[in-house]
């Protein structure tokens, strides 16, 4: 309980995580670190499911999942009808790329960035090879002088044949917060559909799907949003972008709209998704703006300490970094 922003960060928060005390954990970006209340909520959902599995799965689970979507969607500036939960961003990325690829022709091109996530390049390479489409990688030269460098690299790489582009919101290896709003505008003005890989964004950055308005946006909740692993979301622009999507696993709800098609992919453990309800309350207690400011400030302080020790410099201006 307590008012938003009434908590203290740093050491007072250690008890709210399950990390060992023998080391100083700084890498939420790789695989996350679940907040203790959220972990305990997931465990409680697992126990509840086992009390009467038939009743829970057959009567309670789907309404609970829809309720969770409705509660979470406003946290990222989305309508509940435009957002679905998935087991991982990887599942979402494959889902969107597969959907987009059905509209590609042999002479088309798809675009990604040299600073993009390696597995996404492999996803594109596989689908491009199957369809006969050319995968173009726009080179982002490091160090970056400003966000203009990234926008210019994308603008130069787009050709009349470009149909689809994938950009990280926050790059994994280089930790750059890319100017995705500007990249989306450049692409839309030239008829290119855009998928944003926001794996690192929830919790680290303020998100507003409707204001950002990509064609598709995929993100993990186990990293900076501190949920259990196995929880991500996919947002799709209403219209053709939603209609094109097909789940990787087809089940009972297929063909009855976005929510119905994706809400159930088989008899598995959905507790990580249901625990999002607790994660929302935890983040409201922390105060999202205060928490983000604290993370960004401490990340910069740590980076400046290392820069001074190593005699090196950052890869971009400070305003292009978040919490890592």
pLDDT digits (tens, 9 = 90+) for 186-218: 999 999 999 999 999 999 999 999 999 999 999
Q: Please, which pLDDT band fits residue 7 given cuts at 50, 70 and 90?
A: confident
Say what the pLDDT of residue 4 is: 47
- Please report, rounded to a whole number, the percentage of residues in the chain having pLDDT higher than 90: 93
Torsion angle defined by CA atoms of residues 193, 199, 201 and 207, in that order, rounded to the nearest 10 degrees: 40
DSSP-based three-state secondary structure for 152: helix
Q: Closest by alpha carbon to 182, among 145, 144, 209, 148? A: 148
Q: What is the pTM of this model?
A: 0.96
Say what the pLDDT of residue 261 is: 96
Q: Please, which pLDDT band fits residue 27 given cuts at 50, 70 and 90?
A: confident
Q: What average pLDDT score do residues 295-324 get?
A: 96
Say what the pLDDT of residue 23 is: 82
Surface-to-core class of residue 201, CB atoms within 10 Å of its CB (0-12 exposed, 13-18 middle, 19+ buried): buried
Q: What average pLDDT score do residues 225-233 get?
A: 97
Task: Name the average pLDDT for the chain.
Answer: 95
Phi and psi, residue 136, nearest 5°: -100, 130
DSSP-based three-state secondary structure for 223: coil
DSSP-based three-state secondary structure for 203: coil
In the predicted model, is pLDDT for residue 220 greater than 70?
yes
In the predicted model, is pLDDT for residue 1 greater than 50?
no
Q: What average pLDDT score do residues 80-109 get?
A: 97
Other CB atoms within a 10 A radius of the CB of residue 104 amount to: 18
In the predicted model, is pLDDT for residue 3 greater than 80?
no
Q: What average pLDDT score do residues 295-321 get?
A: 96
Q: What average pLDDT score do residues 281-304 get?
A: 96
DSSP annotation string for 10-26:
SGGGGGGB---TTS---
Q: What average pLDDT score do residues 153-171 get?
A: 98
Say what the pLDDT of residue 118 is: 95
Say what the pLDDT of residue 26 is: 83
Say what the pLDDT of residue 21 is: 86
In the predicted model, is pLDDT for residue 130 greater than 50?
yes
Torsion angle defined by CA atoms of residues 238, 240, 245 and 251, in that order, rounded to the nearest 10 degrees: 80
Q: What average pLDDT score do residues 228-244 get?
A: 97
Q: How far is CA 96 from the centre of its chain?
A: 13
């Amino acid at each position: 309980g307590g008012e938003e922003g009434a908590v203290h960060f740093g050491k007072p928060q250690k008890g709210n995580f399950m990390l060992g005390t023998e080391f100083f954990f700084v890498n939420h970006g790789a695989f996350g670190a679940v907040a203790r209340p959220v972990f305990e909520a997931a465990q409680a959902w697992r126990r509840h499911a086992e009390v009467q599995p038939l009743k829970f799965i057959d009567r309670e689970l789907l309404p609970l999942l829809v309720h969770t979507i409705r509660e979470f969607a406003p946290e990222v500036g989305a309508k509940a009808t435009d957002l679905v939960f998935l087991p991982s961003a990887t599942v979402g990325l494959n889902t969107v790329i597969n959907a987009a690829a059905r509209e590609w022709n042999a002479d088309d091109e798809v675009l990604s960035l040299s600073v993009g996530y390696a597995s996404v390049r492999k996803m594109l390479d596989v689908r491009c090879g199957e369809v006969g489409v050319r995968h173009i990688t726009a080179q982002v030269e490091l160090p970056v002088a400003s966000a203009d460098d990234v926008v210019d690299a994308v603008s130069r790489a787009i050709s009349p044949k470009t149909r689809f582009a994938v950009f990280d919101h926050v790059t994994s290896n280089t930790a750059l917060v890319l100017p995705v709003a500007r990249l989306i505008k450049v692409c839309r003005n030239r008829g290119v559909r855009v998928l944003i890989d926001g794996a690192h964004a929830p919790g680290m950055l303020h998100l507003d799907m409707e204001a950002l308005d990509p064609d598709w946006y995929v993100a993990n909740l186990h990293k900076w949003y501190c949920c259990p692993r196995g929880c991500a979301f996919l947002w799709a622009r209403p219209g053709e972008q939603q209609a094109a999507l097909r789940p990787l696993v087809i089940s009972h709800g297929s063909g009855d709209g976005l929510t119905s098609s994706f809400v159930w992919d088989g008899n598995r453990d959905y507790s990580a998704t249901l625990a999002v309800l607790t994660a929302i309350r935890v983040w409201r207690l922390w105060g999202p703006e205060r928490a983000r400011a604290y993370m960004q400030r401490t990340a910069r302080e740590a980076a400046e300490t290392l820069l001074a020790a190593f005699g090196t410099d950052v890869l971009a201006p400070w305003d292009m970094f978040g919490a890592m």
